[in-house]
A and B are shown apart, each in its own frame.
Chain A
Amino acid sequence: MRRLTWFNATSLTLGFAFLYIPMIIVIIYSFNESRLVTVWGGFSTKWYGELFQNEAFLDAALVTFQVGLISSLIATVLGTMGAYVLVRGGRFFGRTLFSGMIYAPLVMPEVITGLSLLLLFISIGLDRGMTTIVLAHATFSMCYVSVVVSSRLVSFDRSVEEAALDLGCTPFDAFRSVTLPIIAPAVISGWLLALTLSLDDLVIASFVAGPSSTTLPIKVFSSVRLGVSPEINALSTILIGIVTIGTVAASLTTKRAALRRKREQQMAEQASG
């Protein structure tokens, strides 16, 4: 193992500091006794208690999770279908146009996406509320799913699907019993990505949300405009905690799976050798 030079050590420290000091400050101040966010008044967990008393925050959190779940599921189904057609559909009329259009929302400024969706909902007379947020989120996160899924589809051996057809599957059966299990990891990560995007979206949601359906980011943003309350710090700390646990768990699982595969391969080679 090479030792860190002073240059590398410094850049590493600076980099991590840049990334994590803001979060650490939020975490520290969430345990602040004082009502003033910038003045330390001793350790306390009272803001967590108050957070769980705050109906408005809890409602917003519930709406956010509902929207996230439903919209990410819709986005996953549509995005996977789109990716499958783009990668496997061969040449068909309008393919180039379609593939360009599916990636367009990736580069479209969110303000424009939000505004155009708002105009659409108004013109078709759909009342703003949870439904409109779900539709809007599904629309913009779908293309992320299809990017992730299509990269997996491109890399896997086409003849596996042909083998399924050859052995008596209808095209749909082949997709269900062979293609889907193989691309499942990509579909799941696409779904997680869509879920995350939906959970932290502020811009699009603020265009299409109605008075009855405030999501957590909107709620946080609007209450911060009235002054940062220590409750927000507590909420942020909880979210950081959830994300950390999720990330660590995911990377541990992948690492363990990789190790197991390696062991099994070695076993196979020994058995055959």
Chain B
Amino acid sequence: MSQNEFAPWNDSAAKPLIQFQNVTKQFGDFTAVDDLSIDIYEQEFFALLGPSGCGKTTMMRMLAGFEKPTGGTILLDGKDISPIPPNKRSVNMMFQSYALFPHLTVYDNIAFGLKRSDMPRDQIDDRVNKMLKLVQIEKFANRKPEQISGGQRQRVALARALAKAPKLLLLDEPLSALDKKLRQDTQFELMDIQEKTGTTFVIVTHDQEEAMTVASRVAVMNFGKLIQVDTPTQIYEAPNSAYVADFIGDVNIIEGNATKDGDKVSIAWAEGQPEIVGTPSQPVGEGRVSFIIRPEKITISSDKPTDRRNAVQGKVLDIAYLGNLSTYHVEMPNGIVIKAQAANQRRRDSLPFTWEDPVWLSWSDTAGVVLEG
């Protein structure tokens, strides 16, 4: 992955392809998108992630032209697109239901948009064949949508949306109708196609794994606002709020009172327990803080580790066996449960810990995130 090289959002000279400027969208009394501003750059694979009703689909429909913002402006290539109807925008959309035309063959579905563009007749055939090849459905060109499987329909929908070579492709929950295995394969294919065509992709999803896998940047939304916009790594490793941390993956959130300890803080979180030492990425004041740590960053052992300052003892309350991993729910003396994850390097019959075992949990000073509040 070339994520380190591709980062136009850090380049102040880069010109964004899409700019949301204080965009608000209201449906009656309900505010779907609330005074939201964001820049999306060319060739990005941008994911809008959030629970249902958070406004992500509304943002996409405003880009496609099916909804008009109540306030603010949306610029595409520097031009305000509000007055442009959907059929005049160089933006195409892949629908969640695929929305294939049931009365047309796969070939005609893909050619549909091209026939309505100014492309000469003789080039349409080439373009359609190229698209069929790109998504590997040449065999089914003459079938009707109801004569192909769900995965193939998904490909037709993608090919149809890409056929007109739009500046921007919108994907509305594109993989939600596929089963898990097929979904994972298709995620990589999507990334591959995005790279090949160089199109800017904006994907809407409620599946955090999907967003993390495919996207160059992820925007986590809630109640019509952006909570955090960052690369998948940053979102996961440096969430800016307990909401983001909790929404993406599994997490332990421990609340306590912080006191400064050099460039670190130490957090008193329970009577009679050693204080947790954490390294805030941004300076936090003294007082109430949340300490956020991922289960896989916690080591579980039967003896007290000697090389780490952060070590607490508890007993195993529950074990979630996932095959490759096991998640141990460890209860502290004050009742708080901390989750720790360990890879199952040995076979099940020799799991190192079992219920009620006293265990030590430990982590390094930099393993967790310290957030104010």
Contact = CB atoms under 8 A, between A and B. Distances in A.
Interface string A145-171: 000000000000101101111111110
A270 B91 CA distance: 35
Nearest to A263: B147
Contacts of B149: 268-269, 271-273
B164 A157 contact: no
Contact of B87 (A168, A265, A267): A168
A145 to B, nearest CB: 21
Nearest to B89: A166
A141 B103 CA distance: 28
Contacts of A168: 87-88, 113, 116-117, 164
A159 B85 CA distance: 16
Contacts of B112: 164, 167
Given A157-B97, A264-B146, A272-B149, A167 B103 contact: no
Contacts of B160: 163, 167
A264 B147 contact: yes
B7 to A, nearest CB: 30
Nearest to A261: B146
B79 interface: no
Given A178-B101, A182-B103, A170 B87 contact: yes
B152 interface: yes
A257 to B, nearest CB: 12
A173 interface: yes
Contact of A265 (B65, B95, B113, B146): B146
Contacts of B116: 167-169, 173
Nearest to A163: B99
B151 interface: yes
A181 interface: yes
A271 to B, nearest CB: 8
A267 B100 CA distance: 19
A108 B363 CA distance: 80
B102 interface: yes
Interface string B80-100: 000001111001110111011
Contacts of A265: 146-147
B93 A163 contact: yes
A148 to B, nearest CB: 19
A141 to B, nearest CB: 27
Contacts of A173: 116
A272 B148 contact: yes
Nearest to A170: B87
B147 A160 contact: no
A173 B86 CA distance: 13
Contacts of B113: 167-168
A163 B148 CA distance: 19
B87 A163 contact: no
B66 to A, nearest CB: 6
Contacts of A167: 87, 92, 112-113, 116, 160, 164
Interface string B117-135: 1000000000000000000
A167 B159 CA distance: 12
A272 B151 contact: yes
B26 to A, nearest CB: 15
A15 B143 CA distance: 46
B99 A160 contact: yes
A88 to B, nearest CB: 13
A149 B146 CA distance: 22
Interface in A169-191: 169-170, 173, 178, 181-182
Interface in A113-171: 157, 159-160, 162-170
Interface of A: 157, 159-160, 162-170, 173, 178, 181-182, 261, 264-265, 267-269, 271-273
A-B residue pairs, 3 tightest by C-beta: A167-B113, A272-B149, A168-B116
Given A159-B99, A264-B146, A271-B140, 16 more contacts: A159-B97, A160-B99, A160-B101, A162-B86, A162-B95, A162-B99, A163-B93, A165-B86, A166-B91, A167-B87, A168-B116, A170-B87, A182-B102, A182-B103, A271-B148, A272-B148
19 contacts: A157-B97, A159-B99, A160-B99, A162-B86, A165-B65, A165-B87, A166-B87, A166-B161, A167-B92, A168-B88, A170-B87, A173-B116, A181-B103, A264-B144, A264-B147, A268-B152, A269-B149, A271-B139, A272-B148
Interface of B: 64-66, 85-88, 91-93, 95-97, 99-103, 112-113, 116-117, 139-140, 143-144, 146-149, 151-152, 160-161, 164
